[in-house]
């Protein structure tokens, strides 16, 4: 044993209360086994041996008959099963219409397009989101403008929106990020005052609610994703929802080559009445969606119950600041369970070292998003011919854009504080939640030792 590792070993065991019993002359072989409470990262036994609930879920007995029926029918393109899913999704949300399309990214792109958000327009979005939010804006030739987040809720901060409104601003695209609702009452009031369209990116927020109203149904349009990781998983898939019939007819038309709404898919005789594309889902995807939709409500309740309990336990640990929900939130979707990590509360242990120690205990966790508002895809878009023809040069200088769009709260979340658990973990038992909290508490208790021994 080197002098250095002996010193760290003695320090570790002094904390365990066994150091005093050790003779410094003892050879390493004769040392007693480490106490069961030692963190796994320091050689202890991991707290969790749990197999986390698998995602996505699939029950052959209940889920396969409908899927097999579609496969054997040979009607694989969009048809009756897609219409059935759309009707059920709309009714689950309490909204008039729903349109199923290839994915959430294109749901957002179509919705912006059919609300006439185009080149020369600015769209306000939060930087704490998946890249698809910004990509949908750029795909329509519009300019994403970033509004910093409220670090307590992780959501777009309504108090920072008005300062970002210019004569070019046409829309706000709040994102209910992590499945926690954004402050829609405040956002809708600002939108009304400035005559802006609101498109909700609800791609992570299936069945989340504000004042018992489902998110995605509060703005002019809402968009969902059914990508494999999402709370309703199809593999790929997305939906646009709205109470505006004319808008929904246009969206349908757009995803079907611009054929008039009501046209049977596959018929080409009527001609196209608008510029469109082909972004249709298949009926076998819709059949998978129907199977998942059948358990979404119960799963959402489980996630809410477990999240509230886990939050109450984690809040008691110094240095851990769980998410906050706005007062008017009546249900979360909890696509992720987020909290802020403060290394001051953990004897200066870095977030990266904390995550490693927690993972060693058997708790999957991550630091979440990287900053979005300074990435090179923006520079690439600004260099395109379409952007150069649509905006004055000074708007397209990348360095100046990054400076104008600086979001310090977001940077702190991304670079220092945010920690995520995934939604499938919230489908575990209450004992699983206790074990997660115990693991965090264990890392907290040994934070100083972990920092010194792992040099982080």
Ligand X SMILES: *Cc1c(COP(=O)(O)O)cnc(C)c1O
Q: Which residues bind ligand X (CB under 6 A)?
A: 103-105, 129-130, 132-133, 175, 201, 203-204, 225, 227, 238
Residue nearest to ligand X (CB): 104
- Residue 251 and residue 65: Cα distance in Å, rounded? 31
Which tokens go with 346?
């953990």
- CA 328 vs CA 186, 208, 299, 315, 339: distances in Å: 11, 11, 22, 21, 20
Q: How far is the CB of 136 from ligand X (least distance, A)?
A: 8
53, 427 contact by CB (below 8 A): yes
Token pair 């080197």 is found at: 2
To ligand X, the closest distance from the beta carbon of 129 in angstroms equals 5
Closer residue to ligand X, CB minimum distance, 219 or 238: 238
Nearer to ligand X by Cβ, of 210 and 440: the residue is 210
Map tokens 């601003």 to a residue. 169
Q: Strands, E, within 218-350: which ranges?
A: 221-225, 238-242, 320-322, 329-331, 336-341
Helices (H), 123-194: 131-139, 184-194
Encoding tokens for residue 223? Answer: 């968009």
Our CB check for ligand X shows the closer of 204 and 304 to be 204
Closer Cβ to ligand X, 227 or 449, answer by number: 227
In angstroms, give the least distance from the CB of 437 to ligand X.
26
Which residue from 208, 150, 209, 146 is spatially nearest to 172, judged by alpha carbons?
146
Contact, 307 vs 437, CB < 8 A? no
Specify the 3-state DSSP secondary structure of 127. Answer: coil
Q: How far is the CB of 97 from ligand X (least distance, A)?
A: 19
Q: Comparing C-alpha atoms, which of 303, 330, 293 is closest to residue 423?
A: 303
Distance CA 409, CA 411 (A): 5
CA-to-CA separations, 138 to 76, 103, 144, in angstroms, rounded? 32, 17, 7
Sheet strands side by side (includes 336-341): 320-322, 336-341, 418-422
- Contact present, 351 and 81 (Cβ < 8 Å): no
Instruction: Give the helix ranges, DSSP H, for 42-117.
Output: 60-73, 80-93, 104-114
Q: C-beta of 264: minimal distance to ligand X in Å?
A: 26
How distant, in Å, are the alpha carbons of 124, 176, 190, 441 from that of 151?
18, 14, 20, 23
């Amino acid at each position: 044993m080197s002098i250095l590792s002996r010193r760290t070993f003695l320090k570790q065991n002094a904390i365990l209360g066994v150091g005093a019993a050790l003779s410094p002359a003892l050879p390493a072989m004769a040392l007693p086994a480490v106490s069961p409470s030692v963190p796994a990262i320091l050689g202890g036994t991991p707290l969790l041996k749990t197999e986390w609930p698998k995602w996505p879920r699939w029950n052959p007995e209940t889920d396969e008959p409908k899927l097999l029926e579609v496969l054997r029918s040979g009607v694989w393109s969009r048809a009756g099963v897609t219409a059935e899913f759309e009707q059920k999704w709309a009714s689950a949300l309490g909204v008039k219409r729903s349109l199923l399309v290839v994915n959430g990214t294109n749901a957002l792109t179509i919705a912006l397009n059919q609300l006439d958000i185009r080149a020369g327009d600015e769209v306000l979005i939060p930087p704490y989101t998946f890249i698809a939010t910004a990509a949908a804006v750029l795909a329509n030739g519009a300019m994403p403008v970033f509004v910093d987040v409220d670090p307590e809720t992780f959501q777009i901060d309504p108090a920072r929106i008005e300062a970002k409104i210019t004569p070019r601003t046409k829309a706000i695209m709040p994102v209910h990020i992590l499945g926690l609702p954004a402050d829609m009452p405040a956002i809708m009031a600002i939108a009304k005052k400035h005559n802006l369209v609101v498109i909700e990116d609800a791609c992570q927020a299936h069945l989340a609610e504000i004042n018992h109203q489902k998110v995605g149904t509060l703005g002019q349009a809402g968009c969902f994703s059914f990508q494999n990781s999402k709370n309703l998983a199809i593999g790929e898939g997305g939906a646009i929802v709205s109470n505006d019939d004319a808008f929904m007819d246009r969206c349908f038309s757009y995803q079907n080559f611009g054929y008039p709404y009501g046209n049977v898919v596959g018929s080409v005789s009527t001609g196209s009445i608008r510029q469109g594309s082909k972004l249709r889902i298949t009926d076998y995807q819709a059949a998978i969606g129907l199977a998942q939709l059948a358990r979404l409500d119960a799963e959402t309740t489980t996630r809410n119950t477990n999240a509230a309990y886990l939050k109450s336990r984690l809040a008691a640990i110094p240095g851990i600041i769980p998410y906050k929900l706005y007062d008017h939130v009546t249900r979360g979707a909890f696509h992720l369970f987020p909290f802020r990590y403060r290394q001051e509360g953990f004897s200066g242990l870095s977030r990266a070292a904390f995550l490693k120690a927690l993972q060693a205990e058997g708790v999957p966790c991550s630091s979440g998003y990287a900053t979005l508002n300074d990435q090179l895809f923006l520079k690439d878009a600004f260099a395109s011919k379409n952007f150069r023809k649509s905006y004055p040069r000074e708007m397209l200088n990348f360095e100046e854009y990054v400076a104008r769009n600086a979001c310090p709260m977001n940077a702190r979340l991304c670079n220092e504080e945010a920690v995520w658990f995934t939604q499938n973990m919230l489908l575990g038992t209450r004992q699983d939640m206790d074990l997660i909290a115990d693991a965090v508490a264990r890392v907290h208790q040994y934070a100083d030792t972990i920092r010194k021994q792992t040099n982080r």
